[in-house]
Amino acid sequence: MGRGLRASCLALMSSGLATLAYPAIAFAGPIDDLAAAAKVEGELNVIALPRDWCGYGGIIDDFKIKYGLRVNELKPQISSEEEIDAIRAARDNATTPAPDVIDVGLSFGPAAKREGLLQPYKVRAWDSIPSAAKDAEAYWYGDYYGTLVFEVNANFVSKMPRDWADLLAPEYRNSVALGGNPSSNQAVLTVFAAGLSTSGGNAETATERGLDFFSELHRKGNFVPVVGRFDAFVDGRTPIMVRWDYLALGDRDSLAGKIRVEVIRPQTAVVAGVYVQGISALAPHPNAARLWMEYLYSDETQLAWLKGNCQPIRLAGLLHDDKVPADLRKGIRPSGRDRGNPEPFFPTLEQQEKARDTIMNGWGSIVGVDIECVPEEPAPLGPMSFNIPKAAPMCLPQ
């Protein structure tokens, strides 16, 4: 399956009110019947969906208008692992607010399935999702993907880093931050990408080499041990962040004319990451959850993700059927070969699961620093020092 996901994606460039009767793997029934059942439930609980992530704000608002449901946006600023924790918490305590649906990194879907935390459901667009990006039993399935880039505040950084090794240079002291804590998919794949670069493309040793890379980055004083965030990036506390290209491009667009944002694709180890959807086994609104899935995999929302700078998982089919408007085609990133860079590398599910477990278990002992949420209040302008007073924290998700 290793190259299958990569090839597929590159080619793409129990309970609740009025629950409908579905077989073990629930298949999509008539959409009007599903919408009516969801209307009885009246609401949907989503989690870890910041409104600036892939254009989710508009997607959520349009869903509310289209189906007349209330959408409760739980804990937008948490990681993939913390999304799984939220289902566990609801399982162990009936009074804990439970998410109906999750949007997590690829490796977190199988882990949640193994724990019995997800329920299966096949959306109507099932056949257009590449087989390497979905669970055969429909417990989870890919929704969109992006590649990791360096997002640089050029108001504070004059020399641009072009590759992973450049981040170790002395001019980047107290400047480089991750886009998530070690339990986030974004951070896991960032460590993997750094190691893939330093190992010369050896995916088998990439995770361990990536931990060594961040240990050296910390030893040199270049690593800022906080979760990078928009306001800290803007005021120069974390002027270099490694994050998904769709987030960096969104920042560049929103800050145009105010701050010069450079979005730099590394010259080696361009790593791509697929996120997946799943319905909680404990979903309090199961029909609303299924309706949400149908909505996300519709042509309408797949194109909304593209508008939000993400690469939707059904992109190949949309292009084939000439359903991508001309104004959105510019948002389709060319392959690395087209730009003189390596093609994006899609780590296999097995590689990602190994990376997640190795990083979550080894970060503290190897890198030797905890990643904290960045303080809310701005510091004096300039790269972040390690003695800034702590304040009410907020982290970026996933």
CATH number at residue 74: 3.40.190.10
Print the domain residue range for 141. 2-145+273-329
Q: Which residue has the tokens 């306001």?
A: 231
pLDDT at 27: 61
Do 225 and 360 reside in the same domain of the chain?
yes
The yes-or-no verdict on residue 3 having pLDDT over 70 is no
Strand-pairing partners, residue 189, are none
Q: 189 and 87 in one domain?
A: no
Average pLDDT of the chain is: 87
Does residue 8 surpass a pLDDT of 50?
no
Any domain includes 394 = no
Name which of 44-58, 151-165, 271-285, 377-391 the model is least confident about.
377-391
Tell me: pLDDT of 266 over 80: yes
Instruction: Determine which of 12-16, 76-80, 241-245 has the lowest per-residue pLDDT on average.
Output: 12-16
* One domain, residues 118 and 190: no
User: Do 124 and 206 belong to one domain?
Assistant: no
Range in 35-39, 357-361, 368-372 with the lowest mean pLDDT:
368-372
Q: Give the least confident one: 181-185, 198-202, 237-241, 311-315.
A: 181-185
Check whether 388 has a pLDDT greater than 50: no
Specify if 170 maps to a domain: yes
> Quick check: 98 and 87 in contact, CB under 8 A?
yes
pLDDT of 256 > 80? The answer is yes
| pLDDT of residue 15 exceeding 50 | no
Number of folded domains that form the chain: 2
- Smallest CA-to-CA distance from 238 within 396, 53, 51 is with 396
Q: Is residue 27 part of a domain?
A: yes
Q: Which residue has the higher pLDDT, 5 or 171?
A: 171
- Residue 379 domain-assigned? no
Beta carbons of 143 and 295 less than 8 angstroms apart: no
At residue 363, does pLDDT exceed 90? yes
Same domain, yes or no, for 263 and 299?
Answer: no
pLDDT (0 to 100) of residue 182: 85
Asked if residue 380 is part of any domain, the answer here is: no
pLDDT at 342 over 90: no
Residue 314 CA to residue 130 CA, distance in Å, equals 8
Residues 156 and 232 in one domain: yes
160 and 135 both lie in a single domain: no
- Identify the bridge partners of residue 149 per DSSP, sorted by sequence position: 243
pLDDT-derived band of residue 30, with 50, 70 and 90 as boundaries? confident
pLDDT (mean) for 344-351:
92
In a domain, 389, yes or no: no
Residues 160 and 247 reside in one and the same domain: yes
Which distant-in-sequence residues (6+ apart) come within 8 Å of 124 by Cβ? 28, 31, 294, 297
Same domain assignment for residues 136 and 239: no
Do 295 and 279 lie in one domain? The reply is yes
Residues 48 and 169 in one domain: no
Per-residue model confidence (pLDDT) at position 179:
87
Question: Does a structural domain hold residue 156?
Answer: yes
- Using DSSP's 3-state secondary structure scheme, residue 177 falls into strand
List beta partners, residue 223. 176
Determine which helix (DSSP H) or strand (DSSP E) holds 286, and give its type and residue range.
Answer: helix 286-296
Same domain, 263 and 282: no
pLDDT for the residue numbered 103 = 97
Is the pLDDT at 395 greater than 90, yes or no?
Answer: no
Distance CA 13, CA 27 (A): 27
Instruction: Identify whether 25 is part of a domain.
Output: yes
State how far the Cα of 21 lies from the Cα of 180, in Å rounded to an integer. 39
Express each pLDDT in 114-152 by its tens digit. Answer: 999 999 999 999 999 999 899 999 999 999 999 999 999
- pLDDT bin (cut points 50, 70, 90) of residue 14 is very low
| pLDDT of 10 above 80 | no
